[in-house]
Structure 1
Amino acid sequence: MVNDDIAYSDRIIDLPSGFSLIWPFRNLSKSSGPYELFLDNNALITDSWFDELEIEIKSKSILSPFHALSEQWLSNPLFKKNSVERIEEFIVPFIKKGIIFENNYAKKWTELLKKNDKESRTQWMISYLYVVLLYRLVSSKKQDNKPKNLLMSLRDVDVPRFNGCIMLCTLADYIKENKSIKLVGDTKPAFSYISSFVDLHASKKNESDVDESYLRNRAGDLSMWLYLPALIQNNYQQAGDAVVVTQDKALRKLIFCCLPSVMTEGRKMAFSFDERSFEQNHSEQIWERIQANTCPPIPPRDRNEMFEKLKRLKEHVIDGAESKLKTEVNKVWEEWVVPGFFGKFTI
C-alpha cells in the first residue's frame, strides 16, 4: 500500500542477532505478505537470523540472495572455483527451514554469473567514484577543504548525478562538522556510523589500504541501499514486499534511516532526506545543504555519453588526491569499469 510518509521505526524490524529487516521505501508500508527478502552477504552465510522471524513473516518469505551471490563471485576465488557446490551449501540450511528454491538453482545462477562476469564487475563498481569522494570527505584533516569543495562543485560539472550518493556525502560532511549530534532516539553520535563505514577493517574484511579490495567492499555495501530502487525502476517485478536483510550498522542505523528511497509514479525511484532523523535545527541545515549540492539528473543520450560523464567524475573526485589513491582509482577503472561497460546482461 502506498502512503504519504512512513516513519523509519515502522519500516524496520531489528532481530536479536543484529540483523534487521528494512522496508526501504518511505512511502510503501508493510503488507500482510508475501515478502521478498534481499539478503546481504552476511545474511546469506549466516542462516540463524531466519529463526528469529515472527511466523507470519517467516511463512510468507521468499529469499533473493543474488546480490550476496554476486559479491561472493566477485570477491571470493574459492567460491568462483566451486560455485555450484558453494551455492548449494548456502541454500541448504534455508531449505531445511522451509524456504523453496527452484530446481537446479545453484547451476542456473552459476551460469548467469559466468555469462555476466564483466558486466557484473562494471555494475558492482558503478558507484565507487562516490565512495572515493565519501572517503576523502570523512578522512580529510580539519584544514583540508578540497573534498568539501569537490562536493560543492559537483553540480557545475557534467557528470552522472547519483543524487542518493551526493546526499550521503552531504550528510557525512555535515555530521563530521558536528560530531556530537545524534539521531533522534539514538545514544551514539551519528558520525560514529559513517566513520566506521569509511574506516579500514583489517580483521573482518582484510583491508590494509584504500585499494581495489576496499573500494569493491564499500561499493558493495552501498549497493545494498542503491540496488533495490535501481532494480525496480528497471522493471523488476518483485514477488512481494521488497525487504532488505542486513547486519551492516551504517546502513541500518544511518543510511536507510536518513536517506530512504521513494517510489514515484511509473515505478520511478528517488532518494529523500527524512527530516525526522535529527533535531529540527540540524535537519534544516542538512536539507539546505542537500538542496544546494543536488540538482535534477540529466540522462545521457547513450552509453558513450555516460562513459564520458563517468570519466569526468573520476577526474573530479581524485583532483588533489594523493598519488597512491589516484593509482588505485585508475586501476579499478581499467580493470572493473571499462571491460564490461558496453556489454549487456544475459538472462
Structure 2
Amino acid sequence: MQQLDFVVPYEDRCVLTPSGSAVVWPFMNASKGYGPYEFFLDANALTKTQWAVELPRDVVERSILNPWPAMQEQWLSNPEFRADPVNRINAMIKPLVDQGFAFRENFARDQVALLCKNEAALKTQFSLIFPYVVIMKALLSKKMPLDEALRQLDRIGQADIPRFTANLMLSALGVVLKSKQALKLTGDSKTAFSYLDSFLAFQSGQKGETDHITLPYLRNRAGDLNLWLLLPTLRQKGYKFVGTPAVVTGDKVLHRLIMRVLPPLLHGSQQACFSILPEGMEDMQWQKILQVVESVQIRANLTATQRSQRMKALFELAKEFCADDAERAELDEGWTQWCLPGLARDIRM
C-alpha cells in the first residue's frame, strides 16, 4: 500500500455491489491499485455473501478474506456462536470457499483461540467507543442550537480524558448534519443526517436492545464503528496487511457516510489519523467539524494509572449525557465489566 500525496476520490475507492454491500478501500491517500487485497469483513458481509458472487472474478483471485471484525462481533454478542464457535465459523465461511476464496487449514480453531486469548482486550477495545455513542446519541436527540452542541464537544475535547479525535469528529459531523437535515452528499439520493439518525435509533427487540441506552445497544453500535476505526488502529500497532486492505460492509452509515466523509489518512508516523472530505458540505459546515479537534492535544506515553484514571473520567463525563439513572447504571457496567478488566492488555495476534 503506497502513501500518495493527493486524495483519491471516494468513487475510486468504493465498489458498491448490486446486493447493497460495499467494498471500501478506506485510506483517502492510497489507491486500491491492482491487488493483492486483504478484505476485512463485518458480520453482515460474513453472513450475507452475495457480494462475493458479484465481484469481478479477477478481484476474487487477487484477494484474501479476513473476517476478524465479524468474529469479534459474533464472539462478544452472540451466545449461540460462543456455544459452538468452530462449527459456526466453518459454516459461515463455506459459501465463501465455494466462491473461490481460500482459508488456511484449521482456520476456525485458530480464530477461536485468538478470541479466547484476547477477550478482555477486545471488550476494552469496544468499550472505548461506548461513552462517545452516549454523547452523540444525546446531542443528536436533544433540541440544542448547533453552537451549543459544538461548545459541548469542545469541552469534551479539552477535558482530562483520553482524546479520541475520530470519535469527536464523528460527533461533530452528527450535530452539523442535524442542523442541516436536508443536506445530501454529492450524488446521494438520501439525506446525510438520515444515515446517522437511523444508526443511533433504538432497535427494540433486536439483539437485546430496548427503548433506552443499554449495554447491548452500546455494544452493537460500537461493533459497527469498530470497522471504521480498525484498519488505522491495526496499522498503528504494526500489523502487516496483505497488499492493500479494504473493508466489506452492508452498513450504509459506514459506506455511504462515515467512511466517505471521515476517512483515515496514511501518515508516515504510522499513527492512526483521520481527515475530512466535504463531499457536498459547504465550507462553513466541514470547517466547524475541524474546529472541534484542531485545538485538541494528543498526549502520549501515559502510565497505566493515568490511562485508567482518564478512561474512568471519560465514562463519568458521558454519564452527564445519560437520560436517567438506569442509563447511567448501564454505562457503569460498561466500565466495570467491559473496559476495566482488559485496560492494561494489548490484543495479541
Query: What TM bracket, shorter-length normalisation?
Result: over 0.9
Structure 1 range deviating more: 68-77 or 150-159: 150-159
For residue 257 of structure 1, what is the aligned residue in structure 2? 260
Partner of 2:213: helix, strand, or coil? coil
Native 8 Å contact 1:13 1:20 kept in 2: yes
For residue 316 of structure 1, what is the aligned residue in structure 2? 317
For residue 11 of structure 2, what is the aligned residue in structure 1? 9
Native 8 Å contact 2:135 2:321 kept in 1: no
Once the two structures are aligned, what percentage of the paired residues are identical?
A: 35
Structure 1 range deviating more: 47-56 or 17-26: 47-56
Change in 2 beyond 3 A, CA 1:119/1:289: closer
For residue 283 of structure 1, what is the aligned residue in structure 2? 283
What does 1:157-236 align with in structure 2 at a 5 Å threshold? 157-202=159-204, 205-208=207-210, 209-236=212-239
Which of the residues 234, 238, 241 maps onto 2:241?
A: 238
Say what the alpha-carbon RMSD is for the aligned residues. Answer: 1.9
Native 8 Å contact 2:146 2:176 kept in 1: no
Residues 138-171 of structure 1, C-alpha deviation per residue, up to 9 Å, x if partnerless?
1113479976543121232111111111111011
Structure 1 range deviating more: 317-326 or 241-250: 317-326
For residue 23 of structure 2, what is the aligned residue in structure 1? 21
How many aligned positions are there?
344
| Counterpart residue type for residue 288 of structure 1 | K
Native 8 Å contact 2:146 2:175 kept in 1: no
Native 8 Å contact 1:150 1:316 kept in 2: no
Q: Does 1:325 align with 2:327?
A: yes
Which of the residues 77, 90, 93 maps onto 1:91?
A: 93
Residues 188-230 of structure 1, C-alpha deviation per residue, up to 9 Å, x if partnerless?
2111011011001236545213100000000111111001100
Change in 2 beyond 3 A, CA 1:320/1:343: closer
| Counterpart residue type for residue 155 of structure 2 | S
For residue 302 of structure 1, what is the aligned residue in structure 2? 303
What does 1:54-69 align with in structure 2 at a 5 Å threshold? 54-69=56-71
Native 8 Å contact 1:273 1:287 kept in 2: no
For residue 103 of structure 2, what is the aligned residue in structure 1? 101
Q: Which TM-score applies when normalising by structure 1?
A: 0.94
Partner of 1:16: helix, strand, or coil? coil
| Counterpart residue type for residue 285 of structure 2 | Q
Change in 2 beyond 3 A, CA 1:190/1:270: same
Partner of 1:265: helix, strand, or coil? coil
Q: How far, CA to CA, are the matches of 2:136 and 2:7 in structure 1?
A: 28
Gaps of 5+ in 1: none
For residue 251 of structure 2, what is the aligned residue in structure 1? 248
Structure 1 range deviating more: 83-92 or 145-154: 145-154
Instruction: Report deviation, 1:266.
Output: 3.5
Residues 13-59 of structure 1, C-alpha deviation per residue, up to 9 Å, x if partnerless?
00001000001000000111111000000101112210000112111
Q: How far, CA to CA, are the matches of 2:202 and 2:31 in structure 1?
A: 36
| Counterpart residue type for residue 192 of structure 2 | A
Q: How far, CA to CA, are the matches of 2:164 and 2:146 in structure 1?
A: 24
Q: How far, CA to CA, are the matches of 2:301 and 2:142 in structure 1?
A: 32
For residue 341 of structure 2, what is the aligned residue in structure 1? 339
Q: Does 1:78 align with 2:87?
A: no
